[in-house]
């Protein structure tokens, strides 16, 4: 059995987190059929956030108490607690929903034993306004891939002493990717034809939907049509709540 440790810092926005955790539960069910076990590790700052994780997902494999600022410290504390417990590390934000089209990409990457791989593209959706865009990392961009959906091996993790050597609350994906590159880790991208990660924008985000509003427009309902069951219900509820 291959152990994939999902690391997720949590802080507020519980209805959005419900959608993310519901999606993760579905992933866990699907991946077990491939003898890949998803184990959730959360970094929490307020008791109500940890209670929400238990309510919407169940008990995580491990939970680390840490202040929410600086976020770099919170993430370092969480990832350091995972060392020696996982074969792979997978970044999933508490606002990220993964479509089932992601599965084969990850199964192939794990079978090949990749060091580090991530998504070139992502959907950003705002349920309140039912707006959606897709964003693709440029070939010459600062980041090779987006933070959400990054997968790296335990061997790659062992090459890096600390992913965030300085205190910061944003730009964390770029900073950590650079630490891997400096350590000689090979960085790959999935080169997916369309996104399979959906980042849900709400009132509480490091970057709001407005930052991405001029990116490639997408049909909001068509993206939701790629979701199923309880995941779709959880995302639809976000729009209904905002309309009240």
Q: Are 188 and 143 in contact (CB under 8 A)?
A: no
State whether residue 61 is helix, strand or coil. coil
Q: Are 230 and 22 in contact (CB under 8 A)?
A: yes
Residue 221 is predicted with a pLDDT of: 95
Confidence (pTM) = 0.94
In whole angstroms, give the CA distance from residue 178 to residue 76.
15
Cα atoms in the Cβ-side hemisphere of radius 13 Å centred on 151: 25
Residue 204 is predicted with a pLDDT of: 63
Beta carbons within 8 Å of 14's beta carbon, 6+ residues apart: 48, 49, 52, 56
N- to C-terminal Cα separation, the chain: 46
Residue 177 is predicted with a pLDDT of: 96
pLDDT 10s digit of each residue in the chain, 244 long? 999 999 999 999 999 999 999 999 999 999 999 999 999 999 999 999 999 999 999 999 999 999 999 999 999 999 999 999 999 999 999 999 999 999 999 999 999 999 999 999 999 999 988 999 999 998 887 889 999 999 999 999 999 999 999 899 989 999 999 999 999 999 999 999 999 999 998 766 556 677 777 889 999 999 999 998 899 999 988 877 665 5
Give the alpha-carbon dihedral of 134, 78, 152, 231, to 10 degrees: -40
- Bridge pairing between strands 216-217 and 131-136: antiparallel
In whole angstroms, give the CA distance from residue 65 to residue 26.
26
The CATH superfamily holding the domain 2-243 is: Spore Coat Polysaccharide Biosynthesis Protein SpsA; Chain A (3.90.550.10)
Residue 226 is predicted with a pLDDT of: 95
In whole angstroms, give the CA distance from residue 44 to residue 46.
6
Beta carbons within 8 Å of 70's beta carbon, 6+ residues apart: 167, 168, 169
């Amino acid at each position: 059995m291959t152990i994939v440790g999902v690391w997720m810092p949590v802080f507020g926005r519980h209805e959005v987190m419900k959608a993310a955790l519901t999606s993760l539960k579905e992933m866990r069910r699907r991946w077990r059929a491939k003898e890949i076990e998803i184990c959730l590790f959360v970094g929490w700052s307020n008791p109500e956030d940890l209670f929400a994780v238990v309510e919407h997902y169940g008990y995580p494999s491990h939970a680390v108490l840490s202040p929410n600022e600086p976020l770099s410290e919170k993430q370092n504390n969480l990832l350091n607690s995972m060392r020696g417990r996982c074969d792979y590390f997978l970044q999933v934000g508490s606002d990220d929903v993964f479509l089932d089209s992601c599965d084969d990409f990850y199964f192939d990457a794990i079978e090949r034993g990749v060091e580090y791989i991530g998504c070139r593209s992502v959907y950003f959706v705002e349920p309140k306004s039912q707006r959606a865009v897709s964003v693709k990392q440029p070939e010459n961009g600062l980041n090779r891939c987006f933070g959400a959906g990054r997968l790296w091996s335990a061997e790659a993790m062992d090459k890096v002493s600390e992913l965030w050597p300085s205190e910061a609350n944003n730009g964390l994906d770029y900073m950590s990717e650079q630490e891997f590159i400096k350590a000689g880790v090979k960085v790959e991208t999935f080169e997916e034809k369309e996104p399979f990660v959906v980042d849900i924008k709400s009132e509480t985000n490091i970057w709001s939907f407005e930052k991405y509003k001029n990116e490639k427009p997408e049909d909001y309902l068509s993206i939701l049509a790629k979701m199923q069951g309880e995941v779709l219900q959880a995302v639809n509820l976000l729009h209904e709540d905002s309309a009240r």
